Chain A
Amino acid sequence: MNVRDLVVAMLPEHLLLAGIVVVIARDLLPGKPRDGFVPALAFLLLAAASAAFLSLIWYQGSPFPGQLSVTPSDLMAKAVILALAVPVLMLTRDDFADGRFPVLLLASLYGIGLILSADSFLTLFVGLELMSLPVYALVVLAFRGPPSAEAALKYLVLGGVASATLLMGAALIFGAGGSLSTAAFVAALGSPDAMAVAGAMLVLAAFFLKAAIVPFHAWAPDAYEGASVPATAFMAVIVKGGVLLAAVRLFAQAPLGGPVADLVAVLPLASIVWGNLAAMRQSSFRRMIAYSSIAHAGYLFYALLGEGAGRTQAVLFYVLAYGVMNVLAFAALPRRERDADADRIDSLRGLYSRAPFASLMIAVAMLSLAGIPPLPGFVAKFLIFKNVMEAGYTLYAVLGLVGSYLGIYFYLRVIQLMFMSAGEVDDGRGAPRRLMRSASLLSLGAALALMIFPGWFIALF
């Protein structure tokens, strides 16, 4: 074990840990309670920058051989996730005055850092747990009565099931091949041994559960609706992105074939179709976003059908475009006295006359999520479907595209309510979020960059 690697390879994680320590320490100091926002933001930015820097200097190392290693593309994935966490952290500023939210957020990000560099199922499991446990707390943190508790409990139980499934799968793979390394997963995929294949399927099912793929999706709408806006944004963007990137890393460019390919095609297709259909009927904004995120998880898993080398690129670009747009929508969403009011899609009626800037931002986000050009959601979708078609899955690509068509309606309906329907009178208490404008402008800037220079990002990933 090389000390330099130990420091450098996990530099982003070390910085996150330092952030956690600093925020907690400041909380413990005597005097008035301090909010942990500024140090958390500073360390988060440092961590994101260090990951991006290490990736750009083409660093790779394995501080714990067999358990943990990083490559430039892993580091780029971390940089993207950490950068997306910046506007999410900014959203928490008003809801959570103390240091609890930033600490939980940084801890969860640490877990994502681990799963994005895990070489064995042990590290992967530890990382997944570290990622998920703080999120259970994040969901209840904005406790607003039974729905929040119910949401957190559902999420917790389903998360437990996912962990158990993963462990069972890892155990079967270990039993078949005698190895806990993630490389054994790829070997198990193509193995004639039924036990190994069953293990691989279970591992895949655990990822489907975490990413809310049909039929493992039912927890997501409840959890999203029960949680606060920043926690929902974190689950929809950061957790989902981290899980997908970890899945891509796990498949390690291995070509798919046989029953696994069918599984990776059929379930995500079902997610795309069902997510988009169910989203049409929702009256709660966060539930709608939950179903939309189920559909988007479908597109993301589609990327696994593509050729090995293009997968990471496609998923990274997609996660970035999708994440930026979700954060933009959540940042611009107006606040109300009662959270349940703000969450009603109907409360967006006539928003343009009350808050033109916010409604334009939400409109941009909706159009991009719908995948309408020239917004970045389109290029992201194009990249995935291009890879799928090039890998020979023409039928699935066409079906997926038609499935994505189903989603256009409910995104446009949000725009219709904001711009084309007469609104309620403003209750005047919808205090603007302090950092709402900066978070939305940050996301908008990223969206514009993705829109004007997609080639640059694609070359980078």
Chain B
Amino acid sequence: MGDALLLDVVLFLPLAGVALLIALPSDREDSIRHASLAVMLVQFLLAGWLYLRFDAASDGLQFETRLPWIAAWGVYYQIGLDGYNVLLVLLTAFLGPLVVAGAFSAIRKDVKLFYGMVLLLQFAMVGTFVAQDLFLFYLFWETMLIPLFFIIGIWGGERRIYATFKFVLYTAFGSIVMLAAVIYLVYSLDATTGVTSFAFTDLYRARLPLATQVVLLTAFALSFAIKVPMVPLHTWLPDAHVEAPTAGSVVLAGVLLKMGTYGFMKLGFPLFPDAARLLAPVFGTLAVVSILYGACLALVQTDIKKIIAYSSISHLGYVMLGLISLDLIGIQGAIVQMVSHGLTAAGLFLMVGMIYERCHTRELAAYGGLAKALPVYSVFFMILTLASIGLPTTSGFTGEFLVLLGAFGASWQAAAQGDTLRLALAVAAVGGVVLGALYMLSFAGRFLFGAVKVPHGTQADLGFRESAILVAIVVAIFWLGLFPAEPLRKTELAAKAYQQLVMTARVPDAAKLAREERR
């Protein structure tokens, strides 16, 4: 009982933090910063405790709370941890304090509003991951837009208003289409089984004709693919990333993009399994196109923030490839890749923010030889670069390797039966790894080595606060790279459940329908 409440506390803690901030006077900026950091740290500690207590051997929800909310519609406030979300909740809680601490020196305007929005965003993000009721999920999913709209729009760069509107209007369009699909799905569940429920577990039992499944999956996928983002729905991402303040970029890359892939894993594919299997070649192709196209775009950028933004598109492509491979190893790899990208991209964006605070430019050409000028900075940057490429012993290796292993494993058998598309996709995805190494290494090479070029003269190296943030991320990267067995054990049952759900046909039984009609 007490355990169940713990997850509620983790969820609502940021909201309590908002209340705390409201009580503080706006001119006591340092108190506001420290209070926000304290809230986030407590949330991380509690989330870590939940992670340790999470029982890998138990199927189903843990730390579950289920209370009727809108009883007339069968909407429940239902939250819980399972293998799907346990790592992502931990990741979100882990990045929370880093985001807050990373913004200490960068945000000088409307400090109270800023941290209020960051805490609100944290609440919505954790809520999206732990929600086990579709209505609740949608509520949190959309709520995320509000604080991000403010964060990008108020504290962003020069074209912040254009970027924030583009981001919100893009994602809101996906959401509104998804909303129509949600209503239709729940209504057809009601019409066919007589159960009015938004609970994921009930919705997994909905039997829908293939054509309906395809339409609904397309609607859900539109919303999720915009968030991931998958080519060709990615055009909001560079603008949002580049214009957002560091905290916004970190949250976007670290957590928000995973919402899309999590949505596919938890909802899109398992809710409409037959359509998912039918459209698997489409999703697989889009995933590989995202991997390659994102990498190619990253290769030619001159803005350091854009390089990392496009690399995100490429890395998230692996996640999609792993999910759609329906191979157990590939699925596990996708989960690890989500967390790994969350760590590396967040770290890289934080580092870009740190150098931007010092030199006020994001032009790659303006920099050079930072290894001599800022040695500590450069060491961290190199580690993150290598993790992003997927060097063994880092988390990036675990993720990408497992995804590719899974993609090949699944495609061998398919190729033997004459379906060579999946094999071709897997081979092409390997090309993405090479491209990834190419753009990241050439970026790091020009950035860190060569003749020393530091805009605005000599700059101080990293301070204690900045180093502490990066040490935390580097530790997490090596933890996931060196000891992946432990987290993988906790997600294994969920990966199996996902595989099972998507592999099982759920179109209505034609013979049974005919029998019922005759009656």
Contacts and interface: CB of A to CB of B under 8 A. Distances in A.
Partners in one complex: yes
Interface of A: 352, 356, 367, 372-374, 378-379, 382, 385-386, 389-390, 394, 397-398, 401-402, 404-405, 408-409, 412, 415-416, 419-421, 454-455, 458-459
B104 interface: no
Contacts, number: 87
A461 to B, nearest CB: 10
Interface string B151-191: 00110000011001100110011001101100110110010
Contacts of A390: 187, 190
B183 A372 contact: no
A385 B183 contact: yes
B184 A367 contact: no
A352 B480 CA distance: 44
Nearest to B176: A405
Nearest to A455: B70
A455 B172 CA distance: 25
Contacts of B168: 408, 412
A459 B142 contact: no
A389 B186 CA distance: 10
A333 B47 CA distance: 42
B211 to A, nearest CB: 13
A386 B187 contact: yes
A420 B187 CA distance: 41
Nearest to B68: A455
B143 A420 contact: no
A401 B184 contact: no
Nearest to B150: A419
A373 B139 contact: yes
A408 B174 CA distance: 13
Contacts of B176: 401-402, 404-405
B183 A382 contact: yes
B401 to A, nearest CB: 39
Interface of B: 26, 68-73, 75, 110, 113, 138-140, 142-143, 145-146, 149-150, 153-154, 160-161, 164-165, 168-169, 172-173, 176-177, 179-180, 183-184, 186-187, 190
Given A367-B146, A374-B139, A419-B154, A389 B165 contact: no
Contacts of A398: 180
Contact of B142 (A378, A389, A415): A378
Contact of B153 (A372, A374, A416): A416
Given A389-B183, A408-B169, A372 B142 contact: yes
A420 B154 contact: yes
A164 to B, nearest CB: 40
A458 B143 contact: no
A51 to B, nearest CB: 22
Contacts of B161: 416, 420-421
Nearest to A379: B70
A401 B180 contact: yes
Nearest to A383: B73
Q: 3 tightest CB-CB pairs across the interface, nearest first?
A: A455-B70, A373-B142, A420-B153
Contacts of B186: 386
A153 B69 CA distance: 48
- The B contact surface, by secondary structure, is helix
A412 B162 CA distance: 12
A372 B146 contact: yes
A405 B142 contact: no
30 contacts: A352-B110, A356-B113, A372-B142, A372-B143, A373-B138, A373-B142, A374-B143, A378-B139, A378-B142, A379-B70, A386-B187, A389-B184, A394-B184, A397-B180, A401-B179, A401-B180, A405-B173, A409-B165, A409-B169, A412-B149, A412-B168, A415-B149, A415-B150, A416-B164, A419-B150, A420-B153, A421-B161, A455-B73, A458-B73, A459-B72
B71 A455 contact: yes
Given A386-B183, A409-B169, 12 more contacts: A374-B140, A389-B183, A390-B187, A394-B184, A401-B180, A405-B172, A408-B169, A412-B149, A420-B161, A454-B70, A455-B72, A458-B73
Contacts of B179: 382, 385, 401
A216 to B, nearest CB: 27
B249 to A, nearest CB: 18
A371 to B, nearest CB: 9
Contacts of A356: 26, 113
B362 to A, nearest CB: 21
A416 B149 CA distance: 9
Contacts of A405: 172-173, 176
Contacts of B72: 455, 458-459
Nearest to A385: B183
A447 to B, nearest CB: 14
Name which of A385, A402, A415, A416 has the most chain B CB atoms within 10 A of its CB: A416
A203 B180 CA distance: 32
Contacts of B177: 401-402
A259 to B, nearest CB: 26
A382 B160 CA distance: 31
A354 B71 CA distance: 43
A420 B114 CA distance: 13
Contacts of B173: 405
Nearest to B153: A420
Name which of B149, B164, B165, B173 has the most chain A CB atoms within 10 A of its CB: B149
Given A367-B146, A408-B168, A408-B172, A458 B183 contact: no
Contacts of A459: 71-72
A459 B72 CA distance: 7
A389 B75 contact: no
Contact of A397 (B139, B145, B183): B183
Contacts of A420: 153-154, 160-161, 164
A455 B69 CA distance: 6
A380 to B, nearest CB: 12
A155 B52 CA distance: 67
A378 B183 CA distance: 13
A398 B154 CA distance: 33
A202 B138 CA distance: 41
A381 to B, nearest CB: 9
Contacts of A352: 110, 113
Nearest to A386: B183
A389 B150 contact: no
A367 B145 CA distance: 11
Contacts of B145: 372
B510 to A, nearest CB: 23
A183 to B, nearest CB: 28
Contacts of A404: 176
Nearest to B165: A412
A260 B343 CA distance: 58
Contacts of A402: 176-177
Contacts of B146: 367, 372
A65 B173 CA distance: 51
A459 B71 CA distance: 8
A265 to B, nearest CB: 16
A346 to B, nearest CB: 15
Nearest to A367: B146
Contacts of A397: 180, 183
A420 B117 CA distance: 14
A459 B143 CA distance: 25
Nearest to B116: A360
A455 B74 CA distance: 10
B227 to A, nearest CB: 16
A347 to B, nearest CB: 18
A420 B163 CA distance: 12
B119 to A, nearest CB: 15
A14 to B, nearest CB: 33
Name which of A373, A397, A398, A408 has the most chain B CB atoms within 10 A of its CB: A373
Contacts of B143: 372-374
Nearest to A421: B161
B425 to A, nearest CB: 33
A424 B142 CA distance: 32
Contacts of A415: 149-150
